[in-house]
């Protein structure tokens, strides 16, 4: 038969269906029942809040997922297969079938589900793009199991000193623990691919296991370092602060080192050297002074951050919502180094007023210090009284406009993303525990205004 793109394709009967695998889409259908079930089990779908399967195809793995998570989403691009899946599961409220491209899917809608797990037999041709879309930070994905070409899986999971270790290994393992679970032979597919496949599982890396560094700088240096593997790194990287010898002495490596000789941890330390971060991460100082206020928001004295938080004393803080021309609001995920609400999602910028500082001045300073942008003024949007809902802070909410890139300080911000207001509202309603308390109160006040 002839495909929609004009190419002749051989029709096959697979799982009782007449299908013509599309070479242009890299389609190789999994037909081995035992393998399909084993792979499905690796995502631990039983009772999971939200499981996503990109590229379900004929549903070989899907049948072993149905009824196990609270909700199952299938994303199928193929114009023939997607309608069939939609018909098959039309009566099930716990299954959503999207006729969409997994390389373009908007994952921001998934945060409201909390625990998001992804499993898929990814086409060789676009597997990398799908992984990039789903796993690049920030992401709501909390676990992923993918079947890919064996050589790619080896590279993803490789450790320093092992075959396959390279830029892909370093960039992915910065955020994920990667396990190579199993090699899959061509015989379990129709049509049979010419190479072996493999199964890899991704779980989030503990952020405290690495020192913080500027993500963009880190990625740039890794790509430069691995750009010509035969060359020594001193001939590939920019001039190092203090000179190359000082850098390699800091890393305790020879001056002749090559990129594949550095572990992920050493790559982070190399990036920190270029940022001139040579001391250990310390987080926020408990000795920082705040104004303490009474129930009328009048200053009564000054105490340290540690004392204020330990005693639950009233104090002042500002929150800033940075909005772009699309009406989206930038949210930050707080660094694991924060003393209050670490790794919670929060306003674009938020912080306590320095002694004697005004709310407006604090809004401008915090925006610069946390997300690295310069704003000259803000609009007062709301004033919130102190209470448990604000962590005992008298809060002013300010609005700022910005359309350029954010440059978050890694000690302050783990990552950040732009969100549509309606997406945030649904997320807040579904999972208020994902956010810092002050943000939830500020968001509700802004939406109600």
Containing 250, the helix (H) or strand (E) segment is helix 244-251
Q: To the nearest whole percent, how much of the chain has pLDDT over 70?
A: 94
Cα 5 from Cα 110, distance rounded (Å) = 33
CB atoms inside a 10 Å sphere around CB 56: 24
Average pLDDT on 395-424 reads: 96
Q: What pLDDT does 378 receive?
A: 96
pLDDT surpasses 70 at 282: yes
- State the pLDDT confidence band at 51, using cuts at 50, 70 and 90: very high
Residue in 358, 424, 361, 368 with CA at minimum distance from that of residue 394: 358
Helices first, then strands: H and E counts in the chain:
12, 20
Q: What pLDDT does 279 receive?
A: 85
Q: What pLDDT does 274 receive?
A: 97
Q: Mean pLDDT, the chain, as a whole number?
A: 92
- Integer angstrom CA distances of residue 194 from 31, 188, 190: 16, 12, 11
Cα 306 from Cα 281, distance rounded (Å) = 18
Average pLDDT on 125-136 reads: 95
- Integer angstrom CA distances of residue 413 from 8, 146, 214, 245, 435: 52, 29, 10, 31, 14
**What strand order describes the sheet that includes 176-184?**
95-99, 72-76, 50-54, 116-121, 141-149, 197-204, 176-184
pLDDT surpasses 80 at 410: yes
Q: What pLDDT does 333 receive?
A: 98
- State the pLDDT confidence band at 15, using cuts at 50, 70 and 90: very low
Domains of the chain: 12-205 (3.40.50.150), 215-274 (1.10.8.100), 289-448 (3.90.79.10)
- Using DSSP, state whether 284 is helix, strand or coil: coil
Q: What pLDDT does 286 receive?
A: 73
Q: What pLDDT does 337 receive?
A: 95
Residue in 247, 223, 240, 277 with CA at minimum distance from that of residue 410: 277
Return the structure tokens found at 45. 């779908």
Q: What pLDDT does 22 receive?
A: 53
The span from the first CA to the last CA of the chain, in angstroms, equals: 60
Q: What pLDDT does 403 receive?
A: 93
Name the burial class of residue 219, with classes exposed (0-12), middle (13-18) and buried (19+) by CB atoms within 10 angstroms of its CB.
middle
Q: What pLDDT does 20 receive?
A: 56
- State the pLDDT confidence band at 449, using cuts at 50, 70 and 90: confident
Name the burial class of residue 168, with classes exposed (0-12), middle (13-18) and buried (19+) by CB atoms within 10 angstroms of its CB.
middle
Q: pLDDT digits over 57-97, tens only?
A: 989 999 999 999 999 999 999 998 999 999 999 999 999 99
pLDDT surpasses 70 at 12: no
Q: pLDDT digits over 298-321, tens only?
A: 999 999 988 998 899 999 999 999
pLDDT surpasses 90 at 9: no
């Amino acid at each position: 038969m002839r495909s929609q793109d004009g190419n002749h394709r051989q029709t096959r009967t697979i799982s009782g269906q007449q299908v013509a695998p599309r070479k242009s889409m890299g389609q190789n259908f999994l037909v081995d029942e035992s393998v399909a079930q084993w792979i499905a089990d690796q995502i631990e779908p039983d009772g999971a809040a939200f499981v996503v399967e990109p590229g379900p195809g004929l549903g070989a793995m899907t049948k072993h997922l149905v009824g196990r998570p609270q909700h199952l989403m299938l994303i199928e691009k193929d114009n023939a297969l997607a309608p069939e899946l939609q018909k098959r599961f039309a009566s099930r409220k716990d299954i959503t079938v999207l006729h969409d491209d997994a390389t373009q899917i908007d994952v921001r809608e998934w945060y409201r589900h909390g625990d998001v797990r992804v499993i898929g037999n990814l086409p060789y041709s676009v597997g990398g793009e799908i992984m990039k879309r789903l796993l690049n930070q920030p992401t709501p994905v909390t676990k992923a199991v993918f079947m890919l070409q064996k050589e790619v899986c080896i590279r993803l999971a490789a450790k320093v000193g092992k075959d396959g270790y390279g830029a892909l290994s370093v960039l992915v393992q910065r955020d994920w623990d990667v396990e190579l679970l199993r090699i899959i032979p061509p015989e379990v597919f129709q049509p049979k691919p010419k190479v072996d496949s493999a199964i890899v599982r991704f779980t989030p890396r503990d952020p405290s296991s690495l020192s913080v560094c500027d993500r963009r700088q880190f990625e740039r240096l890794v790509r430069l370092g691995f750009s010509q593997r035969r060359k020594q790194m001193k001939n590939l990287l920019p001039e190092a602060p203090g000179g190359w010898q000082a850098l390699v002495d800091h890393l305790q490596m020879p001056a002749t080192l090559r990129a594949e000789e550095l572990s992920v941890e050493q790559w982070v330390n190399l990036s920190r050297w270029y940022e001139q971060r040579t001391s250990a991460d310390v987080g926020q100082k408990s000795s920082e002074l705040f104004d303490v206020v009474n129930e009328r928001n009048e200053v009564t004295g000054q105490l340290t951050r540690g004392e204020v938080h330990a005693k639950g004393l009233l104090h002042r803080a500002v929150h800033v919502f940075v909005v772009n021309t699309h009406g989206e609001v930038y949210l930050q995920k707080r660094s694991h180094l924060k003393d209050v609400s670490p790794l919670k999602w929060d306003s674009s910028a938020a912080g306590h007023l320095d002694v004697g500082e005004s709310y407006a001045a604090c809004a401008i300073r915090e925006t610069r210090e946390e997300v690295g942008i310069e704003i000259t003024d803000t609009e007062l949007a709301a004033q919130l009284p102190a209470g448990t809902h604000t962590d005992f802070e008298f809060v002013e909410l300010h609005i700022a406009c910005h359309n350029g890139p954010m440059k978050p300080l890694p000690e302050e911000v783990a990552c950040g993303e732009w969100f549509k207001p309606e997406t945030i509202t649904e997320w807040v309603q579904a999972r208020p525990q994902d956010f810092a308390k002050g943000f939830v109160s500020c968001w509700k006040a802004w939406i109600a205004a």
